[in-house]
Structure 1
Amino acid sequence: MTAGAFVIWGLVPLFWVLLREVPAMQIMAHRMLWGGVLVIGWLCLRGGLRWFTTVIARPRLALMLAGSALLIAANWSLYIWAVVSGHVVEASLGYFINPLVNVLIGVLVLGERLDRAQWGAVAIAACGVLWLAVRLGTPPWIALGLAGSFALYGLLRKLADVEAVQGMGVESVYLFLPSIALLMWGETHGSGGFFGAWPLRIDLLLVTGGALTALPLIGFAYGVRRIPLAVVGLLQYIAPSLQLACGVFAFGEPFGQVRAIGFGLIWIALAVFAVDGWRRGRLARMARRAAT
């Protein structure tokens, strides 16, 4: 399930590009609406409204999930805009550097400590981002925005004491009315809204986009419980690798020497980070065996 979710996320640019004629915010509104319908409907079929009432009864948790809903909506909006605007390669960079941004947030917010290898990985990745900013003339804002928004989303979901899919359902409730409002605004301003403004093919694709939002998240939430986190850490690179391949080979986006060096530094940082994580996990397992 987990590997399948990452494969879907990696190949999804091939789907979103089919909707290039639709404004990015309209795509986003349909994504929130139909993804929410699927998640909320599935949770209600499983256990009525208890999943929602138990969260709303805890104001702090409800507020945290409202914040996470805003962050994931911002992340989705930026990603869709990047894909339909021809920036798939830079979007993939965002998800390559996301694990390292998670590490920095752990240090700055949660008070976690890094060893030398982890600090070295962060420094190498920072050099890669700085290289891209200097040589391309501007920082990779799309990549940084995607990595930052998703890392902050992960932080809130880590702190929120709620089951993964239930939390996603509450987020969907928060995003439901804004998605309806966006579609109504598009309907009244001639930029497309609900159905009828686009050909039937586009309408069906917009609904399918909701399924492509909800189903991988549900599969990931359940699959991640059944495999070690170290394996999840390696599997997460499937998605940006496939996104990069889509950008370069399917959409013909440039990937010259400057980007190759910048990406190369970030890949080296990720390799250092992954090897260090594997080493520390192995030492922890050896310590547990010795204790027993």
Structure 2
Amino acid sequence: MQPDKNTSPGVILNIIASIFFALMFAYTSQLSTLNGEEIFGWRMLLTFPCLTAFIASRGYWPQVLTIYRRLYIERYFIIIRLVSSLLLSFQLWIFVWAPGNDYGLAVSLGYFILPITMVIIGRLAFRDRMSHPQQLACVFAVFGILSQLVFSQTLAWPTLAVCLGYPGYFWLRRKTDTNNIGGLWFDMALALPLGLFFIMQGGQVLSGLDIDLHLLWSVLGLGLISALALTFQALSAPHLNLSLFGLLTYVEPVLLMLVALILGETISATEWPTYIAIWLSVMVLMAEGVCGLKRQRAAREIVSPD
């Protein structure tokens, strides 16, 4: 009998990771003297070594080496990797830019819609089968989006950037068979020079030979939070199957929304129908996931009774 992967330590570790991501969301709003590009640069510079250390310690270098060899074998593969890196960089940038520019709620809404757009992309691009609950969730989501369009004539561009940009990024990774941590490492490695450029251009922390120690400690705090979020998320993965891991991704947008509200943003009366519809959509997907987990547990108990 294989051990049950859905253990409470895995759930706790994943929730702690979501809390750290939300904390980073709030933390960036306090770095008011830095622009979004420089914050992005520091996040890249301080997080990349942690990702590298994790890959080295857990034996994932073969994934990195496989992608490296493909750069020499496959035509245009380097161009595809650069596009993938830019897509990821844009998402990482908007995450740290939005809270300090009154777009925290817009980004959190994008993360709420993201699972639905992932389902739709999977259906259209890869012919993934949509279950009845997923179809119902899509109906709720479409209603919410149409409601927003009726009242506001538009969706905030950060919402669209998240809910459409991330599925495009994951579609490209899946299409090119790089949807693993090695692919993530390459995307971040290729984006690192851009991050360094933004740091030098901003020059708030490092200005010639002068170093603003207060800001330096602030960005080091950002790096610590980012590294802890990534570490706790990675540590939770071995304890969770894909279904439960997917369910727990809904914790983060809830926390991001709460952070945005605490920072002073508000949900207007005309936006409530959109939020309610999206929350209903998420609840349907969560209910489907919970039922799936119960069926899996029941099946294991039948096959391997105590």
TM-score range, shorter chain: 0.7 to 0.9
Q: Is the 8 A contact 1:38 1:211 kept in 2?
A: no
Q: 1:44 offset after TM fit, Å?
A: 5.2
Does 1:11 find its partner at 2:26?
A: no
For residue 262 of structure 1, what is the amino acid of its counterpart? T
| Aligned residue in 2 for 1:245 | 258
Task: Could you tell me which runs of 5 or more consecutive residues in structure 1 were left unpaired when the two chains were aligned.
Answer: none
> Could you tell me the TM-score, scaled by structure 2's length?
0.80
C-alpha distance in structure 1 between counterparts of 2:227 and 2:80, whole Å = 20
Separation in 1 of the partners of 2:299 and 2:236? 27
Amino acid at match of 1:258: T
Aligned to 2:90: 74
Cα distance in structure 2, aligned partners of 1:146 and 1:209? 22
Q: Structure 1 residues 45 and 94 mapped into 2: Cα distance closer, same or farther (>3 Å)?
A: same
8 A Cα contact 1:133 1:140, kept in partner: no
The size of the alignment, in residue pairs, is 287
Q: Which residue of 1 aligns with 2:228?
A: 215
Distance 1:139 1:110, change over 3 A: same
Q: What is the CA deviation profile of residues 34-55 of structure 1, one whole-angstrom value per residue up to 9, with x for unaligned ones?
A: 2123323554577797664443
How big is the shift at 1:266? 0.5
Q: How has the CA–CA distance of structure 1 residues 168 and 195 changed in structure 2, closer, same or farther, with 3 Å as cutoff?
A: farther
Stretch of structure 1 that moved more, 58-67 or 198-207? 58-67
Cross-structure match for 1:118: 134
* Cα deviations by residue, 1:136-188 (Å, 9 ceiling, x for unpaired): 3421321121122222333344456568443333222211212222233334x
Query: Conserved in 1, the CA contact under 8 Å of 2:140 and 2:278?
Result: yes
In the alignment, the residues of structure 2 paired with residue 90 and residue 266 of structure 1 have an alpha-carbon distance, to the nearest angstrom, of 13
Report sequence identity in percent.
Answer: 23
Cα 1:195–1:240 shift into 2, 3 Å: farther
Q: CA deviation at 1:281?
A: 5.1
CA contact (8 A) 1:32 1:179 kept: yes
For 1:204, the equivalent position in structure 2 comes to 217
The alignment's TM-score, normalised by the length of structure 1, stands at 0.84
Aligned to 2:125: 109
**Shift, 1:57, TM fit:** 0.9
- Gapped runs of 5+ residues in structure 2? 1-12
Within 5 Å, give how 1:21-40 maps onto structure 2: 21-40=33-52
Match of 1:185 among 195, 201, 207: 201
- In structure 1, the partner of 2:32 is 20
The C-alpha deviation readout for 1:99-132, integer Å capped at 9, x for no partner, is 1111011011111121333112112111112212
Give the 3-state SS of the residue equivalent to 1:19 in structure 2.
coil
How far residue 280 of structure 1 moved from its aligned partner, in angstroms, is: 4.6
**What is the one-letter code of the residue matched to 1:144?**
L
Instruction: Give yes or no for contact 1:33–1:180 (8 Å, CA) kept in 2.
Output: yes
| Root mean square deviation of aligned Cα | 3.0
| Contact 1:11/1:239 (<8 A) preserved | no
